[in-house]
A and B are shown apart, each in its own frame.
Chain A
């Protein structure tokens, strides 16, 4: 097996939603499943599947609550169903349908929501959902996935299809660096991935913040701080073992997520460490506020969701 991580992480940028659409279309032959969308199939990329397998694609129109319950009905009748829209609507608007009609009966519905976080960009706060992980994590039976890049997103689609039960997977609009080598990557549900080892601090990152965390590591190395970077693609069930291991090893933790600091990765990691190995930590994320219009890259900088933002939080732990 070669190196899982690509040497040149800035050579290619792909949105995780694109990997999702391609994965669905490629898996359509091997597996029997339905794909549902709510008038955003071009944006969520489910249209790629829809063109290839029209008899298994269902456009529900702009009616997300109905879409989630339709998916539940299809799953109850024996076939897994993917349901996609923007995160705000797929899991925000339809939260109760997910909770009562999908998670409670433990149905095989995979809610794959794109345009999560502030990197939706110009649409502004109404569409920038930064609370999805917190909501989905609180629902019993729900598995919550947030892939780091296109390679991971692609692999995760098959993994969640093989997982029996409800899943929420977060996808993004913005083209982000591809950090994993497709040839050598394998997705293991519930297992964190050490992207870089280190002994002074552990940066736990999820989703698109992994690329920023790796950049932050370079900044910190230059200042004599040896940072480990761990990718937490499965936020629930969370990999307690790797969190405890690195908490004990480094004694300092920083979490990084394109999500509110309330209830997301930062909270999940803090829940583990506070009970098993209390550790000094800081959280990088949206600081309990709404988003705003702007270009995706500008917004990441505006909210300090970048290498400098992570490095600053790390350095504060050494003061």
Chain B
């Protein structure tokens, strides 16, 4: 991938972080940690890789993306707004009564949302459903899904893993946001799901482990996945709360909104990072 494009996507990721924080702050609730950890993945998918059209969000041959860890929807809503699926001015209505930006994503109501999610473990199965439909109907769209590391404690994730391998769903690419934390603490202390790479490999998936904050590595892994004849999982090493010093690697920021003081500190850090990314892009 050219340097110019990389810098654009870094800037987009930084923008997603700013908007996600604003969404959660204005809602006085929501999930900042796991939203900030998937910004690069979403920037890459929505600004670079996916065949989508914001003017025709339901076009039948579009690539699909299922946010199986639906609680990270501040990041999804942010990228969709930035991409033009709906106005960015709607972001502050997130989680408010009367808003279509529900606490967890709702398809049909929110343009660009391909599947209603929120209850963990179900989105990856729905993604498998979309993928097998494409294969059986000879359609060539790709299906992406983002699951959490904590989410992989759900038994249904492994039912889906078995299904995808059995039906050779090589059009399915799952990102596992390995940010190491869940609500109650470190995933390895709550209920150790590791080794996740070996588990998926044992289920006959094509497994890659990357830095989930590196657009370059995401691009490389997705292009590899396109060539695989197996379903793909890209285990993304990420930092929960990425970009906000006091949220990083701190599980207490899984599902709570910052108060005014914390918000101002966080927003200043994210804004500075955004400006830096923007300048880098402009200066090449």
Contact = CB atoms under 8 A, between A and B. Distances in A.
A66 B155 CA distance: 10
Contact of A104 (B64, B116, B128): B116
Interface in B100-159: 106-108, 114-116, 118-119, 121-123, 125-134, 136-137, 155-156, 159
Nearest to A70: B129
A49 interface: no
Contacts of B128: 66, 69-70, 73
A75 B132 CA distance: 11
A272 interface: no
B126 A72 contact: yes
A193 interface: no
Given A58-B132, A69-B156, A74-B133, A101 B162 contact: no
B160 interface: yes
Given A60-B163, A61-B162, A105-B108, A72 B156 contact: no
Contacts of B123: 69
Contacts of A72: 115, 122, 125-126, 129
A241 to B, nearest CB: 31
Given A56-B136, A61-B163, A105-B107, A73 B156 contact: no
Contact of A106 (B108, B159, B162, B166): B108
User: Which among B122, B127, B167 has the greatest number of chain A C-beta atoms within 10 A?
Assistant: B122
Interface centre among B66, B159, B166 (most CB of A within 10 A): B159
Contact of B129 (A61, A65, A69, A106): A69
B60 interface: yes
A70 B108 contact: no
Given A58-B132, A77-B133, A100-B122, A66 B156 contact: yes
Contacts of A89: none
B126 A73 contact: yes
Given A65-B125, A70-B132, A105 B137 contact: no
Nearest to B105: A105
Nearest to A96: B119
A81 B130 CA distance: 12
Secondary structure at the A interface, as helix, strand, loop or mixed, is helix
Interface string B237-263: 000000000000000000000000000
Interface residues of B, number: 34
Interface string A98-138: 00110011100000000000000000000000000000000
Contacts of B115: 72-73, 76, 101, 105
A60 B131 CA distance: 14
Contacts of A74: 129-130, 132-133
A76 B163 contact: no
Given A60-B163, A65-B156, A66-B156, A73 B129 contact: yes
Contacts of A76: 107, 114-115, 126, 129-130
Interface in A55-101: 55-56, 58, 60-61, 63, 65-66, 69-79, 81, 96-97, 100-101
A174 interface: no
A34 interface: yes
Nearest to A109: B129
B147 to A, nearest CB: 13
Contacts of A55: 136
A265 B173 CA distance: 45
A34 B159 CA distance: 19
Nearest to A101: B122
Contacts of A69: 122-123, 125-126, 128-129, 156, 160
Contacts of A34: 133, 136
Nearest to B70: A100
A132 to B, nearest CB: 20
A311 B218 CA distance: 70
B119 A71 contact: no
Contacts of B114: 76
Contacts of A73: 66, 115, 125-133
A117 B149 CA distance: 39
Contact of A101 (B60, B126, B137, B155): B126
Contacts of A70: 125-126, 128-129, 132, 160, 163
The 6 closest A-B pairs by CB, nearest first: A73-B129, A69-B125, A66-B159, A73-B126, A63-B159, A70-B129
Interface of B: 60, 64, 66, 106-108, 114-116, 118-119, 121-123, 125-134, 136-137, 155-156, 159-160, 162-163, 166-167
29 contacts: A55-B136, A58-B132, A58-B167, A63-B156, A65-B122, A65-B156, A66-B128, A66-B156, A66-B159, A70-B126, A70-B132, A72-B115, A73-B133, A75-B129, A76-B107, A76-B114, A76-B129, A76-B130, A77-B129, A77-B133, A78-B133, A81-B129, A97-B119, A97-B125, A101-B115, A101-B116, A101-B122, A105-B107, A105-B108
